Amino acid sequence: MRTEIKVGILIVLVTIAGVIGYQFLEGYDVFGKSNEYYIIFDNAGGLEPASPVTIKGMQVGKVLGIYLALDKDYYNPPVIVHINISSDIKLTRSTEAMLVSADILGSRAIELKIKPDSAFLEEGDTIKGIVALTVTEMVAQEMAPIKAKAERLMASLDTLIGTISYFLQGSNKKKLERALTRTEKSLANLYRITARLDTLLRTQKHRMAHILANLEQVSSALAKEKESLQRIVSNTADLTDSLKAGGLTEAIASLNHSLIVLDSILTDIQEGKGTLGHIAKDDSLYLVLTQTLRDLDSLLVDMKARPYRYVHVSLIGPSPKKIHKWEKKMERKHRKRESQN
């Protein structure tokens, strides 16, 4: 065989191998049969051709291409992802394609979730796409509450520092120094008090032991006299039972009834009911009695001053003319004495 022919065959084989290798690197299953589908995403950031297509973490295909659907919405076009998967896998119409993070570096992959459905997709059909959060977005989402807490903490620290700075300025600084000095003195006094207590406890140790011994003796004596105390309590109970059986309850009930009746009588008097109530509330009787006493006093005074008006002593029985004459005489003497006085 001529050398030119050999070189030509070698070039053809190298070209075929290069094409096959390129297609393999691009995600095409050169030697196996696969089905191709399309997925629509709002954003396919991080996804590249040859990115893996997985089901439950197992790679079943690759991304063949990524395109913008400018014909659908020029200003906000969706992203169309062209994939191929093994022909052994049948996708239902409820299948979802989720754009997930493949690693912590930001690489993306497509995770297929096959859901139960009676209808299956044909090759070239479109799958519903869902964009999951990236690792960076998840970290940012988890860090958001921590960030908010840190911001609140920094604000609180700033307020605290401002308050401390305020207290450390001018007269407040002197007040704080005086307060610290007083606190120091209080602690020193407390230390002296505790020292004195410690000295007292040490010096009075024997006395306290004697007091405790006396308390122990008292408790022992009470324990020995337990039966006597029980008898006293029993006798007291018997006495109360005797009083109860002897009619004390009835006497108390009768006394309570009497007090209720007395309270009712006093209430009636207070309200002006009955004779006593009228006497207590109506002052007319008081006025009448007062006037009567005044009249009686005037009568007694007049009887003392002019007894001849009320007392007539005569054994023979003088005539009315003589009595009248005698009264006039006595009246003149009385007036004369009054004028002399």
**187-211 pLDDT tens trace:** 888 888 888 888 877 887 787 788 8
**150-170 pLDDT tens trace:** 888 888 888 888 777 776 676
Whether 341 has a pLDDT exceeding 70, the answer reads no
**302-333 pLDDT tens trace:** 777 666 566 555 544 555 666 667 667 777 77
The pLDDT of residue 314: 52
**22-49 pLDDT tens trace:** 656 655 555 557 889 999 998 888 888 8
The pLDDT of residue 45: 82
The pLDDT of residue 38: 94
Residue 83: exposed, middle, or buried by beta-carbon count in 10 A (0-12, 13-18, 19+)?
A: buried
Stretch 216-235: mean pLDDT:
80
Higher pLDDT, 215 or 174: 215
The pLDDT of residue 320: 62
Whether pTM > 0.75 for this model: the answer is no
The pLDDT of residue 315: 46
The pLDDT of residue 81: 93
